[in-house]
Structure 1
Amino acid sequence: MSRTLPFPRSRSRMVHAERSMELDPVRDHREVLLGVAAHDYPWDTVQALSFALFRTYAVPSIGGLLDRTGEFTGRVQKRYDDTGLLLEEIQRHGLESSRGRDAVRRINQMHAMHDISDADMRYVLATFVVVPKRWIDDHGFRPLTPHEVIASVHYYRELGRHMAIPDLPEDFAGFERLLDAYEQEHFAPDPGGRRVADATLDLMTTFPPHHLLPRRVVRRAAYALMDEPLLDAFGYPHPTRLERRLVRGGLRLRARVLALLPARTEPRWASDLGWFRSYPGGYAISALGTFRGPTGAPRPGCPVGRGAAPEGQQPAAS
């Protein structure tokens, strides 16, 4: 069980990296990851996890299912918000907390409505482990420390255990092999997966500061961050060499600027970025996501405003 420890007040840019090496990456895995996700890399963590989920749409059994539910095409903002808020509740409060357990229960209830293979579930979890490290390696102002990588593995293994996902890898190399092999075998064009990907990219163009640019420019920038197998699976055009250099060069410049700034002493969460817009009056965990209707078919969840949460649920500002 991880401990809740006070975050250091030092303004040194490397304070959270140094602190991670003083903690036990197994016992204190959540505390170690909070230094990454809520202090050094809040924006990057959101981007990386978004791209992690985006990759899963290129697997037809996943992208096709999401298309058939209509959630990621007809209500893409709400589905994006629900996913992000549930994951944040777990990370912010921990799996030992009532809010963390409620969030995992809600995720499991949604997954139980569909016939999802263990292999697909393992792959999705692997993207959460592997893609953020690769993103930070490429675009961050510092690499993850060895303890942060180990902590990520144990955090998601623990989440996977609560989701009853069997046969999870025991280390980062195992998750990386799983992800690469699964994508090589299963990435393929699929009309449903393409529709879900298109809807997600359209939503991305509405987030600040993207909304200030033409949609075509934002989409081309997104293509420049995708690898060729992912582009080919969706049937997207390959970016030019200049486009890749401009987009990745811009992210490298941002990393150099961040390296000069003092460390963040207060946590910043995904919900602080203003991209979750479905619940301006707050939400209850039990109302997030999708539910079965009277006929047994999935139906969307309903927002619960602040002060109207079910008994035992505390509304939280989004």
Structure 2
Amino acid sequence: MERYDRLRQILRMDPEADCHEIYRLIAVYEFPWDVTRALELALFRTYAVPSIGRLLAETAELTERSQKRYDDTSLLLDAVVEHGFDSTEGRTAIRRINRMHRSYDISDDDMRYVLCTFVVVPKRWLDAFGWRRLTEHELQALAHYYRTLGRHMGIPQPPRTYAEFEEYLDTYEEAHFGWDEGARSVSDATLRLMGSWYPRPLAPLARGAAMALLDDALLRAFRYDPPADHVRRLVRTAVRLRGRGVRLLPPRRRPHYARQNPEIRSYPGYPRGYRVADLGTFPGQGGSPAERGAQSCPVTQLRDRTQS
């Protein structure tokens, strides 16, 4: 297989009828590391909307149980990517997401904005740091995939095209980004979590690198001191060079799903795993079905983390 063979495969598919398979190829073969990093940055954008950041602070899930909340969010979204909207695992994941959201007073506008971050932030990350940019064909599929997810989540009038997703995100951020003490606490907790993935002496460097990837609008919303210009240039140049290096490597032959990421730490590896129906929070229900001893859907095992 040559470097661009999978892109040629994608370009032969229908961007709407085959949107799930196209997105799966993008997320688990072409850009698994990049998509993970981009979606992590998307988290910070949601915190910077005070109505979202404040609610997340009030639930305490991201401040007191940061690793578990990160893992559950990644695994629920990953189940849809791996198995599709119509699979048992995909339907179970979407039901879990919807039941969690219905436990809180979240506006349709905020839900629509969060959906937009899943589309726009990865595209912009790949423009800046990826080994290649997404084609218009792939952007059509990306938009249709997340429009479909939005419909399954009951979000009214999700954007139809990438341009509509981007316009909604930019307009919403301009109108709503702002300071909130609770949102800042959630952002701080997420930065601490990212630092915890590395040996203790490297944690400050990891936090500094994450800060260098935040744009000025986010830094202002959280009232962070901006990183020194040379630090920002160094970090961004390093990530950009990584992308150029990946371009020279042979294409990935085995899929790499989010559940294989070393950052997922709440669930031990093989032979133990997790049940999709047990992921996330269960407000007012006394914990997950597993914690209450209930039977759930079959266990999904955390498989070999070795990348091809």
Q: TM-score, normalization: structure 2?
A: 0.93
Deviation, structure 1 residue 213: 4.6
**Residue matched to 1:277:** 265
**Residue matched to 2:246:** 258
Deviation, structure 1 residue 112: 0.5
1:317 aligned partner, one-letter code? Q
SS in 1 for 2:301: coil
CA distance, structure 1, for counterparts of residue 136 and residue 221 of structure 2? 33
**Residue matched to 2:231:** 243
Structure 1: give runs of 5+ residues left out of the alignment.
1-9
Distance 1:37 1:213, change over 3 A: farther
**Residue matched to 2:222:** 234
- 1:292 aligns with one of 266, 273, 283: 283
Between stretches 214-223 and 40-49, larger displacement belongs to: 214-223
Cα offsets for 1:294-315 (capped at 9, x unmatched): 6xxxx654767xxx8825x110
- Report whether the alignment pairs 1:157 with 2:131: no
- Report whether the alignment pairs 1:50 with 2:34: no
**Residue matched to 1:78:** 68
**Residue matched to 2:77:** 87
**Residue matched to 1:69:** 59
- Report whether the alignment pairs 1:214 with 2:207: no
SS in 1 for 2:210: helix
Contact 1:52/1:128 (CA < 8 Å) preserved in 2? yes
- 1:29 aligns with one of 2, 19, 28: 19
Deviation, structure 1 residue 211: 3.1
SS in 2 for 1:215: helix
**Residue matched to 1:199:** 189
Deviation, structure 1 residue 61: 0.5
- Report whether the alignment pairs 1:115 with 2:105: yes
Matched ranges for 1:163-174 at <5 A: 163-174=153-164
Coordinate RMSD, CA, aligned:
1.7
CA distance, structure 1, for counterparts of residue 137 and residue 201 of structure 2? 39
2:189 aligned partner, one-letter code? A
**Residue matched to 1:3:** none
**Residue matched to 2:305:** none
Q: TM-score, normalization: structure 1?
A: 0.90
CA distance, structure 2, for counterparts of residue 108 and residue 234 of structure 1? 28
Cα offsets for 1:45-67 (capped at 9, x unmatched): 11111111221001110010010
Structure 2: give runs of 5+ residues left out of the alignment.
303-308
**Residue matched to 2:124:** 134
SS in 2 for 1:169: coil
Contact 1:309/1:315 (CA < 8 Å) preserved in 2? no
CA distance, structure 1, for counterparts of residue 161 and residue 199 of structure 2? 39
